[in-house]
Structure 1
Amino acid sequence: MRYEKISFTASHADVAQDAMKRLSQRYGHVPAEEADVIVALGGDGFVLSTLHDTQTLDVPVYGMNRGTVGFLMNVYREEGLLERLEESELAEIHPMRMVAETMSGRKQEALAINEVSLLRSGPQAAKLRIIVDGRERLAELVCDGALLSTPAGSTAYNYSAHGPILPIGADILALTAVAAFRPRRWRGALLPSKAKVRIEVIEPDKRPVLAAADSLEVRNVKAVDISTDTSVTHRILFDPGHGLEERLIQEQFA
């Protein structure tokens, strides 16, 4: 596919801002609403925020690494950008929708491309009750937290918490505990992507918990409902042979 009208966006880092100036001068720049493709310059966090910000546009995002890890990014190179875009591979991702209810009764919704996590925000361990599709699966999980990850996010926080890496095409979510104390031998679960997960906080006044959908935080939650939102599709481009599926496989043999 030909991508001729490019909208460049960059993180606040100087190296990303400098790259955007040079690329804009070389290839031209149009507003995102007029673009065939959005080129995001930064790190993984920035490309995630770009995907969130442009989800109402039917425009794919191609990231080039001007950050640190860059798992979701392509190698930065100024030459041959149009050819790279034309030859790129497309991955489509459905995010999860989080509905978090606070102790005051307020509800807040957010989308997560990587994961929804619940983390203790006080000195004591959190106590969580896990319900899947209306059925209690774990009456009490004593832990520092728990997270539900998409395949795209399985190599991020989920992997750091010793959760499994999921193939990008798998219709599976990974439910992973963070520093579980009880039950000690519980190592998480793999759930169908269509599963509706509810996590309730036990003793939320004594053991405060925050919920995060990617980078958006909600504090003092008492319950969180999570489900895949198939009405939203994020489109991300990768150089040939370096797509998200290949990166997920490589990570397992690193």
Structure 2
Amino acid sequence: MPQRIALFGGSFNPPGLHHRVIAQRLAREFDEVRVIPCGPRPDKPVTDSIPPVYRATLADLTFGDLPRVTVDLFDLEQATFTRNWDLQKRYESLGEVWHVVGGDLVSGGALGKSLIQRTWAHGPELWQSAHFAILTRPGYTIDRADLPPQSHVIVLEEPGSSTLIRDHLVHGQNVAHFLAPRAHEYIQRYGLYRAPNPSSWARQSLSGQSYAIQADNHNAKAQGWLAEIGPGTEDKPDFITVLGGDGAMLRCIRERWRERRPFFGINAGHLGFLMNAPEQAFSSSFPPADVILRQLPMLYLEVEDRQGRVQEAYGFNDAWLERSTSQSSWLQVWVNGVERIPKLISDGALVATAAGSTAYARSMGASPLLADTPAWLLVGSNVMEPSQWRSALLSVDTTVELRNLSPEHRPVEAFVDGLSLGEVVSFRARISRAACAEVAFCASHDMAEKIAAIQFHRPQVG
């Protein structure tokens, strides 16, 4: 018997407890539930009321811990609104697909006048061939004659409305009883739905909160701190403590960013730009009482190999192409669909977020950026031609594509945060619309001072 998969799509702007209850009920009725927050919708301009990365985070915070429930972020990442016909094609190889819809969408079905039949792409065909899980709302009665041929009615008594939640937030009213606790905390932290532009940082206390610990196994200093702050917990921690250097932080972010928990790093490495100095972290009781949380963007990458296979990846610091042989690479550089450098002859090229600009980008000659700068970098490595070009500052809505002009004779390999993606013929990068990481710093930690120390070559402690 094929696995039954319920597709639960919607704006989820924001997702409320009523959405969570629906997902839990669906998980009892089906083998798997896929929650699919949609991208921009022409019929619902309010879908874009906050940037998509906040909506993606709220979806993970609301549904991410539910058994048999998976949050799929492809529509938010690609800024698309995938129609049910295309969702059917996307998921049907995994099992028997069930489309979750409200009872109002099937009203008039007996006469061929339901919204599904009249307004959906391939609506009449879907009506006859697809499976529908139909949710009833409190006080709403469904005429059995209106049901599609393959349907299952689920009676719900949980009221709720994203519109109501947004309205309460705009007017400063309490919404804690409408939201999952972690989603409510996140909305409060960044002032979502209350101002035109959400904040990207917040000040708060970690004192008394639970934390997981991830320590660099090859760093003796980090291992020595375990006895001082351990043991931590993996049972729904409030944040994640990372012991080590920037490399340890990058590994932890790569492995755990979908948990949507803040990362608090303690530097047992060298510069430790993403970390807190141990004398600050341990200056009083741990966890610290005064920290600044910064929501920092991540990179979204699509790389294509010689066989035409496309691989997606996320990175926090940087991603790059480098030559695989002794010969220089020949790359074509496109920015937002416009050819900017017809032939870049170099050892390779790198893109870096603002947070990652202090790493390889700096060693390649680019000026580092403050971590919350709304920009990112494209940097050439040992550029021979064009002789005067070294780097470019990019806006956050920019897409960069690097194409290998000679993949057979001058192969290049792609990397993201130091992890190899193999040899590729093209490399597309932009700031992700769905992925981010919250990094916590002691309030006394001065990121600007670290940048100044790098730029003016002054010795810097911590």
Cα distance in 2 for residues equivalent to 1:205 and 1:246: 46
What's the TM-score once normalised by structure 2's chain length?
0.52
* Structure-1 residue corresponding to 2:214: 9
Pairwise mapping of residues 52-67 of structure 1 onto structure 2 (< 5 A)?
52-67=254-269
Q: Structure 1 residue 22 and structure 2 residue 228: aligned?
A: yes
Which stretches in structure 2 are left out of the alignment for 5+ residues? 1-204, 458-462
Cα distance in 1 for residues equivalent to 2:449 and 2:398: 26
> Does the 8 Å contact 2:229/2:286 carry over to 1?
no
Cα distance in 1 for residues equivalent to 2:271 and 2:371: 19
Letter in 1 for 2:216: S
Bigger mean CA offset, 49-58 vs 36-45: 49-58
Cα distance in 2 for residues equivalent to 1:34 and 1:241: 28
Letter in 2 for 1:208: P
What is the CA distance between 1:104 and its match in structure 2? 2.4
Q: Structure 1 residue 233 and structure 2 residue 436: aligned?
A: yes
What is the CA distance between 1:251 and its match in structure 2? 2.4
> Does the 8 Å contact 2:364/2:381 carry over to 1?
yes
Cα distance in 1 for residues equivalent to 2:241 and 2:449: 21
Q: Which has the higher contact order (CA 8 A, sep 6+)?
A: 1
* Structure-1 residue corresponding to 2:451: 248
What is the CA distance between 1:243 and its match in structure 2? 4.2
> Does the 8 Å contact 2:206/2:291 carry over to 1?
no
Deviations along 1:81-133, whole A, 9 cap, x unmatched? 4362x211111111011111111222222111111111111010000000011
What is the CA RMSD across the aligned residues, in angstroms?
1.7
> Does the 8 Å contact 1:91/1:244 carry over to 2?
no
| CA gap 1:42/1:83 in 2 versus in 1, 3 angstroms | closer
| CA gap 1:17/1:198 in 2 versus in 1, 3 angstroms | same
> Does the 8 Å contact 1:110/1:216 carry over to 2?
no
| CA gap 1:198/1:187 in 2 versus in 1, 3 angstroms | same
Deviations along 1:131-157, whole A, 9 cap, x unmatched? 011111110000001111111011100
> Does the 8 Å contact 1:238/1:244 carry over to 2?
no
What is the CA distance between 1:17 and its match in structure 2? 2.0
Q: How many residues align?
A: 249
* Structure-1 residue corresponding to 2:392: 189
What is the CA distance between 1:204 and its match in structure 2? 0.8
* Structure-1 residue corresponding to 2:244: 42
More strand by share: 1
Cα distance in 2 for residues equivalent to 1:21 and 1:118: 41
Q: Structure 1 residue 175 and structure 2 residue 381: aligned?
A: no
Letter in 2 for 1:59: R
Cα distance in 2 for residues equivalent to 1:244 and 1:238: 9
> Does the 8 Å contact 1:118/1:209 carry over to 2?
yes
What is the CA distance between 1:58 and its match in structure 2? 2.6
What is the CA distance between 1:210 and its match in structure 2? 0.6
Q: Structure 1 residue 224 and structure 2 residue 427: aligned?
A: yes
What is the CA distance between 1:15 and its match in structure 2? 2.7
